Amino acid sequence: MRLWSIHPKYLDASGLVALWREALLAQKVLKGKAKGYKNHPQLIRFQEHCNQLNAINYYLNEVLKEAKRRGYNFDRKKIGQIKRIPKISITKAQLNYEFKWVCKKIKNRCPKILAGLSPVKKVEPHPLFKIVKGDIADWEHVKKC
């Protein structure tokens, strides 16, 4: 399961579709409708949020917005209610690590897109996340609202 902390605009078509599917799977896990992945590190961020379902719905909605911007037809009905919620903290180091990881994947799938990512100096997070100081391993989860 890969629930990227980077903004979905950085993903290629395959990455965006995969993110949509992974986030929908995460939504099922959080609803108790899927058994696997319960202890996945990227899912734990959502599990520790005071409003798990609103957090994953907000996450999915931002992926949907990017898909619509590109002219893709993702199903809005798969997302539940969307409310403003406290953001989840992510370190700048983690964000940059994920961006480099995505660039490696894109290099193999679609080198032309990688050229467009090369000038990126400041990586933007998915709107659900806020950047905090720390190392890659420093996860500050939102535990209370």
pLDDT tens track, the chain, 145 positions? 589 999 999 999 999 999 999 999 999 999 999 877 777 778 888 998 999 999 999 999 999 999 999 999 999 999 988 988 999 998 999 999 998 999 888 888 887 777 777 677 899 999 999 998 877 765 555 444 5
| Secondary structure (3-state) at 118 | coil
Residue with tokens 């957090």: 55
Whole-model pTM: value is: 0.89
Give the Å distances, CA to CA, from 78 to 22, 75, 98, 139. Answer: 13, 6, 26, 29
